[in-house]
Amino acid sequence: MDRSKRRLIKLLGALPLMGAAKAHADAFPSKPIKIIVPASAGTSIDAITRFFSDPLSKRLNTPVVVENRPGAGGLLGYQAVARAPADGYTLILTGIPLYLLPLFSGITPPPLDPLKDFAPVARVARVPFAIVVPPDSPFKNLSDLIAAMKNSPNTVTYSSQGVGSSAHLCSVILNDMSHTQAQHIGYKETTMAVTDVAGGRISFTCQTSTGVLPLIQSGRLRALAVTGSKRWDVMPGTPTVSEAGVPGFEVSSQLDFMAPHGTPLAVTRMLSRHFAQIAQTPAFQQFCEKQILTPETVEADALGPEMAREVARWQNVARLARGS
């Protein structure tokens, strides 16, 4: 049998599957959609998810239910979605933990594979970080901090929520790109990691905008720099890390809606279109401004390659962290 005939037979054999996928997409949604939050109610990722649930429900004319699945650093929520039917009725809003949990969970084999367990739907925003110090810190700017870490390696301390947390790895990247060294002090929770900086027991920490802005505004912390690609509107005088002396530095947590791997492409594209349109509304732009989020819309087709780049990036950072 020649090659052209074999190709024709394969195409004919695929037609029923293509028809079934189209029929599923045409009928979608026919029941409520559930969006899992891998964190407790009241957290920033919970608030963002709930912002999208109502307009998405109205657009699709079907209930959209938000379900909190905290625990194990978000692992329980991620696993619940990875194991759900790949039909578009179970979604999750992911952040950096999607890429960090497989690298630092201590579980063998890794409990998640971002590329094999999840299908991209849409990115809606990023969460920037800030490098903060005690209000009376001798470091008046980022250059002072970098100079101290260069001149006295490992005498400057930084806190995080533990090895493999976003705060830990943000600081690892800072040390790598500025060719400096500092001593990592890990905590079990964010509150203590931040409180000990505010109290002057730790030199600095790198935390999300939502986690430290109230403390900056109340004067309990002082920001040396922000880690995104642009300054925060609420702190226009605070430079980005790149502006302050580490060119090219940018760290933020992507906020990506995902579905289980294998969800029909027609379904993820439909959902992607709706999420993207909601993310571009004035209401969401205002929400982002209040939450200190950076709006960023990436639809399903472009998000897949982005995921592959994120996996490679955080694998490299993990190697740096283990060698530090």
Is pLDDT of 14 > 60? no
- Each residue's pLDDT tens digit, 46-69: 999 999 999 999 999 999 999 999
3-state secondary structure the chain: CCHHHHHHHHHHHHHHHHHHHHHHHHHCCCCCEEEEECCCCCCHHHHHHHHHHHHHHHHHCCCEEEEECCCHHHHHHHHHHHCCCCCCCEEEEECCHHHHHHHHCCCCCCCCCHHHHEEEEEEEEEEEEEEEECCCCCCCCHHHHHHHHHHCCCCCEEEECCCCCHHHHHHHHHHHHHCCCCEEEECCCHHHHHHHHHCCCCCEEEEEHHHHHHHHHCCCCEEEEECCCCCCCCCCCCCECCCCCCCCCCCEEEEEEEEECCCCHHHHHHHHHHHHHHHCCHHHHHHHHHHCCEEEEEEHHHHHHHHHHHHHHHHHHHHHHHHC
Q: By CB neighbour count within 10 A (0-12 exposed, 13-18 middle, 19+ buried), where does 215 fall?
A: buried
For tokens 């709006």, name the residue: 295
Is pLDDT of 118 > 80? yes
pLDDT band at 189 (very low <50, low <70, confident <90, very high): confident
Beta-carbon count within 10 A of 268 CB:
26
Q: What was the pLDDT predicted at 43? A: 87
Predicted TM-score of the model (pTM): 0.87
Q: Give the mean model confidence (pLDDT) for residues 177-187.
A: 97
pLDDT band at 187 (very low <50, low <70, confident <90, very high): very high
Is pLDDT of 23 > 80? no
- Each residue's pLDDT tens digit, 84-107: 999 999 999 999 999 999 999 999
Q: What was the pLDDT predicted at 102? A: 96
Q: Is the dihedral of CA 49, 53, 59, 64 positive or negative?
A: positive
Q: What is the CA radius of gyration of the chain?
A: 22
Q: What was the pLDDT predicted at 258? A: 99
Q: What was the pLDDT predicted at 16? A: 59
Q: What was the pLDDT predicted at 19? A: 53
Burial pattern 23-60, b for ≥16 Cβ within 10 A else e, equals ebbeebbeeebbbbbbbeeebbbbebbebbbebbbeeb
Beta-carbon count within 10 A of 247 CB:
9
Q: Are 104 and 163 in contact (CB under 8 A)?
A: yes
pLDDT band at 42 (very low <50, low <70, confident <90, very high): confident
Q: Mean pLDDT score of the chain, rounded to an integer?
A: 93
- Each residue's pLDDT tens digit, 217-249: 999 999 999 999 999 999 999 999 999 999 999
- 109 preceded by a cis bond (ω within 30 of 0): yes
- Each residue's pLDDT tens digit, 282-312: 999 999 999 899 999 999 999 999 999 999 9
Q: Answer with the residue of higher pLDDT: 7 or 305.
A: 305
All domains of the chain, ordered by start, with CATH?
30-127+252-323 (3.40.190.150), 128-226 (3.40.190.10)
Question: How much of the chain exceeds pLDDT 90, in percent?
Answer: 86
Is pLDDT of 1 > 80? no
Burial pattern 122-143, b for ≥16 Cβ within 10 A else e, equals bbbbbbbbbbbbbeebebeebe
Q: Answer with the residue of higher pLDDT: 11 or 207.
A: 207
